[in-house]
Structure 1
C-alpha cells in the first residue's frame, strides 16, 4: 500500500484527483464552466501569518508548509491545469495590521485564504474575506469566536477551543485532578479557551479554584503567581502563548509550586523550554499531533528539512493541509468561483490530512478535533505523551 505521507504517495494521490476532476470538466455536473476551461495563469492563494512581533517564529513554519504543498501540487499537474501560487502578508498577530494585510491580499486577486494564526488577528479579517467572496481555510487560529461569527465560507482545520477544552479536561480527569486553576493572557484565543474549560468543568467532578488573567508582555508575574499558589490547585492550565508561559512556569517553580502544569497549543513550541529553563521539564500540553508523532511521516519531515534547513515547526502541517483542502475543492468544483468552492469544501469527506480523514461539521469545524497530550522532551521540544484514544 502506498504510504500517504511519502512524496510519491502524495503526488500519486494528487495526480489521480486532478485526472478525475479534469475528466469531469468535459461533461457532467461541472462541465462547461468557463472558469475551468478558459482562464489561464496561476491560481493565487493568500496567507496572513505573523512574520514580525512576538509570534514571528510561526509565520515561516506556515509559509513553508503551504509552499511545500503548492510545489507538490504544481509538480503533479496543478489545479484545473493551472499552477498554484502563494502570496503572504504579515499580520503581526495584530488586529489592525491583519485588517490592512487582508485588504492587500484582496487586491492581489486571491481566490482563497490559507492563513490565520492568532485568533484575535484573524477575527476582524472574516468579514473582509467574506465580502470579497474569498473562502478561508484557517490552519491555526481556533477561537470559538471564529465559529460564532457565522460568516459564510470559513473553515477551521485546527480543533476548536471547545475541542481543546475537552482534551484538557479529559487529561485532568485521567490524572485524578480535583482542583484546577485556569490562567489566560487576556487575548481572544486564550480567554475563550479558559472560558470553555470553566464551562465544561461544571459537568465533571473537577473544581475550578481560580480563573486568573495576566497582562501579556510583562516580565514579572509574581502577583499572579502568588494568587495561583494561594488557590492551591492540583493542576494549572495555562491557555496563553509561550513567551509569558515560559516566564510563569519559571516563576511558579521559584515560588515553590510543585503541582502539574498543562499548557495550551499556543505554548507548544521549543522556545517555551528555553524560556522556562529547568521549570519546563515535564510540562504537558494540549496539541494536535505533529509529523514526528505520526507513523509514516518520516519522508515528509526529511523533505521539509532538506528544503528549509530545519525541522517543521508547529502549524507547518496544518498550513500544508489547508492548501490541499483548497486545491481539492477547486478541482471538485471545476471552478475557482467562490460559491462553488465553498460548497465543494463542505462536501469533502475523507480527504486524508495529517490529523486524519477530513470532514467538516455544518459550522465549518472538524468533525473530530484530534487533540492529544504532549510533554516537553529531553531536547526541549514537545513529544507525544498520550493520544487520548484509549
Structure 2
C-alpha cells in the first residue's frame, strides 16, 4: 500500500506539470502503449494467463493513480499460443505498432525465436516468466535490449542441486524434454553437478506430449539414482511422477519452477507429494506487500487460488518496474534507447512482491533475480509451501539483489 501511495504522488506531480503546458486541455491524452505477449491459449496457458492477470492488475492500479503523466497506459496484447512462429509474427507486429516496451514470453523456445526482432529494433523487452539461460546471454549485456525478472535456469539449477546434495541425494537422474527449455536446463543441471564433483548417473531425453516414460524411469532406477531431476514445462512432469508411483520407486522428484504448475500438481495428484522446486514467490501472506497483492488479485479475478503464483507476481512487478523507468524520463524521449537507459539506471527503489528492486538492471546485467531471492518450495497436500520453516521466517523480509 505504501508503494502505491509513492507511485500516486509521483504521477500526480507529473500530471500537475503536464496541466501547466500550453494547450494541455485541448485534447484527450493519447494512451501510452506497452506490448504484452504470452501463451494465453494453448498448452502453456496455465502460466500464461496468470502472467496476463498479474500484469493487468498492476496496470489497473497505475492507471487509477494517473497513468503516465495523465495519459492512460494500455496493453497491446498478443497471444503467442506457445508457438515460436506465432510469437515471431506477433513480436514483429508489436515493434511495428511502436510500443514503448514489451513484457512477455513464458516459453524459452518462443522467446529465443523473437529476440532478434526486439534487439534489432532497439525496443526493450522484459521477460517475466521464461527462464532459459540463453535468453539474456544471446547479446553482449551492454548492448542488449533484453531484460528479465524471472529466475534464469543458471541460478535455479545450482540452487536445487545445492539442496539435494545437502540432503545426501547425490545419485541424480536427469529427465529433460527436447525443447530449448529442456536442453538448456539439462546443461545447467549438469554444470551445477560438476561443481560438486558429480555427474548424473542417468540422462533421459523425451519429446513433449509423451504419455509413458517407463523405459527411461526403469533405466534411471537400474543406474542406482536416488533422486529424479525433471526438466520440462508441461504435463510430462506428471507423467514422470505417476511413472515412479507405478513402479513403486520411492525416490524424490525435484526440479525448477514448473513443478509448481497445475499440469504437475493436478496431473500427478498424490504422486506429486514431496516434490521440491525453486521458487521466487510462494502464495502465502508472509508480509504486507504479499498480503496486498494476493488480496487484490483474488478480489479482481474472483478466485481463492492463483494457478501459477510466480507468473502472476513476477508480471505484476515487471509492469511497475517498466512504469517507474518510463516515469523517470524527464525530457519526453520514449525511444527504445531512452527506455533502455532508464531501466539500467533506476531512479528509486521499487518495493515489489517478489523482491525489493533497488537496482534490478544495469548496463552490464539484465537479470533482476539472484539466487538469494530463491526459496525451496515443497508440494504438500496438493499445494506448494515452504520446504523449510526458516525460509518462511526469512520470507517476512523481501530480499534484495546481491
The normalised TM-score by structure 2 is: 0.86
Matches within 5 A, 1:273-312: 273-292=265-284, 294-296=286-288, 297-310=290-303, 311-312=305-306
Can you give the 5+ residue segments of structure 1 that lack an aligned partner in the other structure? 1-7, 27-31, 33-37
1:132 equivalent among 121, 136, 139: 121
Correspondence for 1:373: 376
Out of 287-296 and 232-241, give the one that drifted further: 287-296
Matches within 5 A, 1:1-390: 8-19=1-12, 40-150=29-139, 152-292=144-284, 294-296=286-288, 297-310=290-303, 311-314=305-308, 315-334=311-330, 335=332, 336-348=334-346, 350-358=349-357, 359-360=360-361, 362-366=364-368, 368-369=370-371, 370-378=373-381, 380-386=382-388, 387=391
Displacement of 1:87 after TM fit? 1.8
Cα RMSD for the two superposed structures:
2.4
Displacement of 1:174 after TM fit? 2.2
- Shift in alpha-carbon separation, 1:227–1:11, aligned structure 2, 3 A: same
Q: Which runs of 4+ in 1 moved over 3 A?
A: 19-26, 386-390
Q: Report how many residues are paired.
A: 372
- Shift in alpha-carbon separation, 1:367–1:299, aligned structure 2, 3 A: closer
Displacement of 1:22 after TM fit? 6.7
- Shift in alpha-carbon separation, 1:75–1:209, aligned structure 2, 3 A: same
Out of 129-138 and 40-49, give the one that drifted further: 129-138
Contact 2:159–2:278 (CA<8 Å) still a contact in 1? yes
Q: Counterpart of 1:333 in 2: which secondary structure?
A: coil
Displacement of 1:135 after TM fit? 0.6
Displacement of 1:25 after TM fit? 8.8
Distance in 2 between residues matched to 1:293 and 1:196, nearest whole Å: 32
Displacement of 1:327 after TM fit? 0.3
Displacement of 1:63 after TM fit? 1.2
- Shift in alpha-carbon separation, 1:120–1:307, aligned structure 2, 3 A: same
Contact 2:12–2:66 (CA<8 Å) still a contact in 1? no
Correspondence for 2:399: none
Out of 117-126 and 166-175, give the one that drifted further: 166-175
Distance in 1 between residues matched to 2:166 and 2:14, nearest whole Å: 46
Distance in 1 between residues matched to 2:8 and 2:185, nearest whole Å: 40
Q: Counterpart of 1:208 in 2: which secondary structure?
A: coil
